[in-house]
A and B are shown apart, each in its own frame.
Chain A
Amino acid sequence: MAKAAKPPKPEEITKSLDYKKTPETHWMDTPVEFRPGMYCYGTRPKYLEEVGMPNPREWSSADEDWKLPENWKEIVLEGIADRLNKHRSFRLFMDICVRCGACADKCHFYIGTGDPKNMPVLRAELLRSVYRKYFTTGGKLLGRVAGARELTMDVFKELWYYAYQCTECRRCSVFCPYGIDTAEITIMVREIINLLGCNTDWIMGPVANCYRKGNHLGLEPHTIQSNIEMMCDDIEEITGIRIEPTFNRKGAEILFITPSGDLFGVPGVYTCMGYLMLFHELGLDYTWSTYASEGGNFGFFTSLEMAKRLYYKVYAEAERLGVKWILGGECGHMWRLWHQYLATFWKPPDNLEDPVSPITGTKFEHANSSKIVHVVEFTADLIRHGKIKLDPSRNDHLKVTFHDSCNTSRGMGFFEEPRYVIKSVCNHFYEMPENTIREKTFCCGSGSGLNSSEDMELRMRGGLPRANAVRYVHERYGVNMLANICAIDRAALPTLMQYWVPGVEVCGVHELVGNALVMTGEQKRTMDLRMEPLPGVEEEEEGEEEE
């Protein structure tokens, strides 16, 4: 070979490079390495103080010293013991895993990062090994041989690092023969982390905001009102119709609550405009609340107690305003919680009635206990009964695919309603490949409070499986719009698309509804809700002028 190859010796070039082979060590002997772009900053003390959580102090997750109380180990172990006695899921999932590996390649973070500790089974083993050491006879006696290990600061940091590389999406749980749900374990680990005040800033800030001001973004009542009025201005410009929504109005039939992300950012605001237009067109007797102004709940990413504290407002406000039932906007984790937790957290107040659509008379019997109805359910029922006039051709410039949010998919079973609505308001709808949708949907990579900018690399990797499926329909069918029913998706997917699949935009389902909705007395639509000209329309007009 040497004869032929005189110039640069390629082996030399490549071999001089430090290839990224992980040490060939057992995972217990491979200490965690905090890599920039893969984790979020630690919380500021003021947020912890505002809600009365332990150990507020200035610290950074990149620091060597996390400034934990001296008895931190005790606190962690007591925290584990306490939760083992309170959650059957937790105790069972600590005990019965057989490490068959069926979950291993189901995690979007494992697929995208290739880090073995992101295999759901190993993510759980990180804690399970500690559990064995302190809570099982075999682990106490045999130690490492029984898969047990000492709880050290490095182990705690490792638990932290990987608890914030899990979006609690439950995909692994679908494939586990015993239904072991890593989300349950991550939730417990995060609760324990919070006993020591080690939440991330990105989660804790919204929690503190939401507690006092009613919503994650910290919008005060007058700001909420003026934001919605700005949307109404835009709607007026687009449709010629002035909408006058009400706030904190007693005696309304329905209380409407949506994630605050829809009030402030794009493309969330367009979804919100869709709600406003639809409710106006129906003449719905509903009110917004500035107090219960958050559907989402970052408390869920902190501790179940914090989730309960933040959701006090929902039923309390429904009681104060004397409404009959509650309508909830498009949001993922909000609906996991509203569906599976809310009525357990707080008993629905007595003034609420079994929800009935005032337009179609449909009884939402599946919500008779909790009195909460998903806005997409509400709209699907309207369309089914032909109660709204739709012109799907106004969405003809869009080729739409639908991203099932993890939470509504695997924590609610919400698949057909959104598809029914989308197909009714759009003419071009394409599904992504089968094993990337519905109960097997891939996470956006930014759920459960990971959608900050400091962990952008992590998000881009975690979102790769989702983006890859979008790219497929983008290339094959020319899909240019990724619809979803989740506020975090609406915030995170545009970023993901910008990186992996430029040319695909993101919208909520009710933005598409708003586009297609034919309103009584509206002017000829020349723009969509983004105030971009509707393609066919202008040409038509020009044509008319020429005549």
Chain B
Amino acid sequence: MRLWEVLKERKGRIAAKWFEQVVATYPEETAKFLKSKRDPFSNPVGNTIKEGIEGIINSLLDKGEEVNTFLDRIIRIRAVQDFTPSEAVSFVFQLKDVVREELADMSDESWLTEEISLFDRRVDELALKAFDIFMGCRERLYEIKVDEMRNWTFRLLERANLLEEFERKKKNL
């Protein structure tokens, strides 16, 4: 597909713009910090978003399987950063804006109209996946709360022979 070729050519710029937009959802001082080119250990949020975005674009264009991994990394962070579910996954849709902006110079070409809707569908799929991951992360949070309670009271539960019971209940939660 022609669009894919164009996008591959320009993916560096697209990733950079998309990153800018995602980071812009944070307060100004924070955004600047997230953008700073610090090491991944001093600035894990910024670096994770950056790597995640590059990874998502690559696997989107190459139909890579690991798109979930990259989506997961970004969403796992947003899932604990008081975003509502819609806010947390909305960054996926920003990719549409970014790509359209990037292709503004060829908006008159007829092949684009057709191909861009294919691209849009890809992004929509991505958003659905993102939502699944978000829900998974939130569920995980509740699970680990339960697990933590079990760990804290491990001996008590063990003594009362309640551990199996506990596991069973947890599964049914």
Contact flag A116-B29 (CB < 8 Å), given A4-B116, A38-B82:
yes
A104→B30 CA distance, assembly (Å)? 11
Indicate if the CB atoms of A24 and B28 lie closer than 8 Å. yes
Indicate if the CB atoms of A20 and B153 lie closer than 8 Å. no
Residues of chain B contacted by A494 (CB below 8 angstroms): 147-148, 151
Residue A4 contacts which of B38, B87, B112 (CB distance < 8 angstroms)? B112
Instruction: Tell me if A145 is interfacial: C-beta within 8 Å of chain B.
Output: no
Bits for B109-123, please: 1 = Cβ < 8 Å to A, else 0.
Answer: 000110011001000
Residues of B contacting A: mostly: helix
Residue A21 contacts which of B27, B48, B155 (CB distance < 8 angstroms)? B27
A105→B34 CA distance, assembly (Å)? 10
Residues of chain B contacted by A114 (CB below 8 angstroms): 26-27, 30, 33-34, 45, 81
Contact flag A8-B80 (CB < 8 Å), given A230-B159, A491-B148, A491-B151:
no
Residues of chain A contacted by B33 (CB below 8 angstroms): 104-105, 114
B contacts, CB < 8 Å to A: 24-30, 33-34, 36, 38-45, 48, 76-77, 80-84, 86-87, 90, 93-94, 96-97, 100-101, 103-104, 107-108, 112-113, 116-117, 120, 124, 137, 140-141, 143-145, 147-149, 151-156, 158-159
Residues of chain A contacted by B28 (CB below 8 angstroms): 24
A168→B147 CA distance, assembly (Å)? 26
A481→B107 CA distance, assembly (Å)? 54
Residue B141 contacts which of A38, A264, A267, A460 (CB distance < 8 angstroms)? A460
Closest to B101 in A: A1
Residues of chain A contacted by B103 (CB below 8 angstroms): 4
Indicate if the CB atoms of A4 and B81 lie closer than 8 Å. no
Indicate if the CB atoms of B40 and A472 lie closer than 8 Å. yes
Closest to B81 in A: A461
Indicate if the CB atoms of A5 and B100 lie closer than 8 Å. yes
B87–chain A nearest beta-carbon distance, Å? 6
CB neighbors of B among A209-259 (8 A): 226-227, 230
Residues of chain A contacted by B107 (CB below 8 angstroms): 1, 3-4
Instruction: Tell me if A17 is interfacial: C-beta within 8 Å of chain B.
Output: yes
Residues of chain B contacted by A6 (CB below 8 angstroms): 113, 117
> What's the A-B contact tally at a CB cutoff of 8 Å?
161
A114→B45 CA distance, assembly (Å)? 9
Closest to B88 in A: A20
Residues of chain B contacted by A35 (CB below 8 angstroms): 82
Indicate if the CB atoms of A17 and B145 lie closer than 8 Å. no
Name the 7 nearest CB pairs between A and B, nearest first.
A10-B96, A114-B30, A468-B44, A22-B27, A460-B80, A453-B145, A266-B154
B35–chain A nearest beta-carbon distance, Å? 12
A521–chain B nearest beta-carbon distance, Å? 27
A336→B45 CA distance, assembly (Å)? 30
Residues of chain A contacted by B144 (CB below 8 angstroms): 456, 495, 498-499
Residues of chain B contacted by A115 (CB below 8 angstroms): 27, 30
Residues of chain B contacted by A433 (CB below 8 angstroms): 39, 41
Residues of chain A contacted by B45 (CB below 8 angstroms): 111-112, 114, 464
Instruction: Tell me if A18 is interfacial: C-beta within 8 Å of chain B.
Output: yes
Contact flag A18-B87 (CB < 8 Å), given A457-B141, A468-B44:
yes
Residues of A contacting B: mostly: helix
Indicate if the CB atoms of A111 and B116 lie closer than 8 Å. no
CB neighbors of B among A457-473 (8 A): 457, 460-461, 464-465, 468-469, 472
A14→B33 CA distance, assembly (Å)? 24
Residues of chain A contacted by B147 (CB below 8 angstroms): 494-495, 498
A456→B82 CA distance, assembly (Å)? 12
CB neighbors of B among A3-55 (8 A): 3-8, 10-11, 13-14, 17-22, 24, 35, 37-38
A241–chain B nearest beta-carbon distance, Å? 21
Instruction: Tell me if A113 is interfacial: C-beta within 8 Å of chain B.
Output: yes
B68–chain A nearest beta-carbon distance, Å? 14
Closest to A265 in B: B152
Residues of chain A contacted by B153 (CB below 8 angstroms): 264-265
Residue B148 contacts which of A104, A116, A453 (CB distance < 8 angstroms)? A453
A266→B38 CA distance, assembly (Å)? 36
B95–chain A nearest beta-carbon distance, Å? 8
Residues of chain A contacted by B27 (CB below 8 angstroms): 21-22, 114-116
Residues of chain B contacted by A498 (CB below 8 angstroms): 140, 143-144, 147
A13→B154 CA distance, assembly (Å)? 48
A-B contact pairs, 30 of them (CB 8 A): A1-B107, A3-B107, A5-B100, A6-B113, A8-B96, A10-B93, A10-B94, A10-B96, A14-B93, A19-B24, A105-B33, A111-B42, A111-B43, A111-B44, A111-B45, A114-B45, A116-B29, A230-B158, A263-B155, A269-B155, A453-B148, A457-B141, A461-B80, A465-B42, A469-B41, A491-B148, A491-B152, A494-B151, A495-B144, A499-B141
Instruction: Tell me if A312 is interfacial: C-beta within 8 Å of chain B.
Output: no
Closest to B108 in A: A3
Closest to A437 in B: B41
Instruction: Tell me if A435 is interfacial: C-beta within 8 Å of chain B.
Output: yes
A269→B151 CA distance, assembly (Å)? 10
Indicate if the CB atoms of B81 and A264 lie closer than 8 Å. no
Residues of chain A contacted by B151 (CB below 8 angstroms): 265-267, 491, 494
Contact flag A436-B41 (CB < 8 Å), given A1-B107, A8-B120, A20-B25:
yes
Contact flag A17-B148 (CB < 8 Å), given A5-B100, A460-B80, A460-B141:
no
Residues of chain B contacted by A37 (CB below 8 angstroms): 80, 82
Instruction: Tell me if A500 is interfacial: C-beta within 8 Å of chain B.
Output: yes
